[in-house]
Amino acid sequence: MMIVELIDGDDFRARLSALGIDLPDDADPDTSARIAAETHQAQGVEGLPETVSELMNQKDILLPAVRQAIERFLSAG
């Protein structure tokens, strides 16, 4: 039996924090994505577009709340 680790709000927040985005410890996916988008627009965040692309290519293990937050705040177009 194969066990798959899902990408949840904590994982999402950790990935964004690793890029240098300052996020509250209790930030939900929407808050994390919104702050990431605002930070990227204001000063640029190296690696953010690649991280977003990587996450969206893993839709099968991405929890719906995280996917929706990315689509709402971080999707180009």
Residues (pLDDT < 50) of the chain are 77
Tokens of 15: 């990935």
Residue 67, pLDDT score: 97
- Identify whether the C-beta of residue 21 lies closer than 8 Å to the C-beta of residue 36: yes
Helices (H), the chain: 9-18, 29-43, 48-56, 64-73
- Identify whether the C-beta of residue 73 lies closer than 8 Å to the C-beta of residue 34: yes
Residue 1, pLDDT score: 65
Residue 3, pLDDT score: 72
- Identify whether the C-beta of residue 32 lies closer than 8 Å to the C-beta of residue 16: yes
Parse the chain into domains and list their residue ranges.
Answer: 9-73
